[in-house]
Amino acid sequence: MIDLHTHTFFSDGELLPSELVRRAEALGYRAIAITDHVDYSNYRFVLENIQEAVNVLNDTTSIVVLPGVEITHVPPVKIPDLIVKCREAGAKVVVVHGETVVEPVASGTNAAAIEGKADILAHPGLISHREAEAAAEAGVFLEITARKGHNITNGLVAKVAVEAGASLVINTDAHSPGDLITRSFAVKVGIGAGLSIRQVEECFLNSERFVKEIKTSYTNIDT
């Protein structure tokens, strides 16, 4: 399992980075990104602390741990700029909190995330075909999520992404211990979204390729 969207208590998660990673390791994860919620007020603080934890964990655990962020409820016009700032501050994975139907996310957030070339547009809700086509062109992954509530629109996201040729990844958006999943459960999440086994495997390959393409100083990347 490779999970590119998780949270710790540096935002609204329940776990220390070390406990999150240990629990993921015990479930057979091969790589995990810690992507706590950020806006302009806290992105430097979050990345500084996550990076310190990641440096230790990558020297002492069997899985790859990547520092990242989830840009959340930021006005769409400011999202592309914050994507750049987060990368400059050390984020290896930039997720944008998409237009989920269970939160009042500002209209235009999906388009702004794609325009700014975030790595992943999380739980993009009622994403349009035009947005999915733009994501495909920009190389932005669309997320199939295991997260309760956000997963209501997984079926639409999968359908539109496949039609538009956009690449998908399967993530947990984990906030608590019980949110982490096994690879076999991730398969069920993908199938439940209407994907075939082959398409689910392509989601996994997308995550693997992404991790392998990240050029860092880590020495234990072996996905």
Q: What is the pLDDT of residues 43-99, one digit of tens each?
A: 999 999 999 999 999 999 999 999 999 999 999 999 999 999 999 999 999 999 999
pLDDT at 217 (0 to 100): 47
What is the distance between the alpha carbons of residues 113 and 196, in angstroms, rounded to a whole number? 27
Cβ atoms of residues 49 and 10 within 8 Å: yes
Hey, what domains does the chain have and what are their CATH numbers? Answer: 2-213 (3.20.20.140)
pLDDT at 131 (0 to 100): 98
User: Which amino acid belongs to residue 38?
Assistant: V
pLDDT at 222 (0 to 100): 44
CB burial string 101-124: b at 16+ within 10 A, e below: eeeebeeebbbbbbbbebbbbbbb
pLDDT at 79 (0 to 100): 98
Q: What is the pLDDT of residues 200-222, one digit of tens each?
A: 999 999 999 999 998 554 544 44
- Displacement of CA 113 from its chain's centroid (Å): 13
Q: What is the pLDDT of residues 164-203, one digit of tens each?
A: 999 999 999 999 999 999 999 999 999 999 999 999 999 9
Centre a 10 Å sphere on the Cβ of residue 210 and count the other Cβ atoms it contains. Answer: 22
Residue 93: C-alpha distances to residues 103, 140, 212 (Å): 23, 12, 12
Query: What is the DSSP annotation of 152-192?
Result: GGHHHHHHHHHHHT--EEEE--B-SGGG---HHHHHHHHHH
Closest by alpha carbon to 35, among 1, 2, 6?
A: 6
Cβ atoms of residues 97 and 122 within 8 Å: yes
Q: What is the pLDDT of residues 143-156, one digit of tens each?
A: 999 999 999 999 99
Q: What is the pLDDT of residues 7-42, one digit of tens each?
A: 999 999 999 999 999 999 999 999 999 999 999 999
In the predicted model, what is the mean pLDDT of the chain? 96
Closest by alpha carbon to 138, among 166, 162, 96?
A: 166
pLDDT at 11 (0 to 100): 97
pLDDT at 216 (0 to 100): 55
What is the distance between the alpha carbons of residues 184 and 107, in angstroms, rounded to a whole number? 34
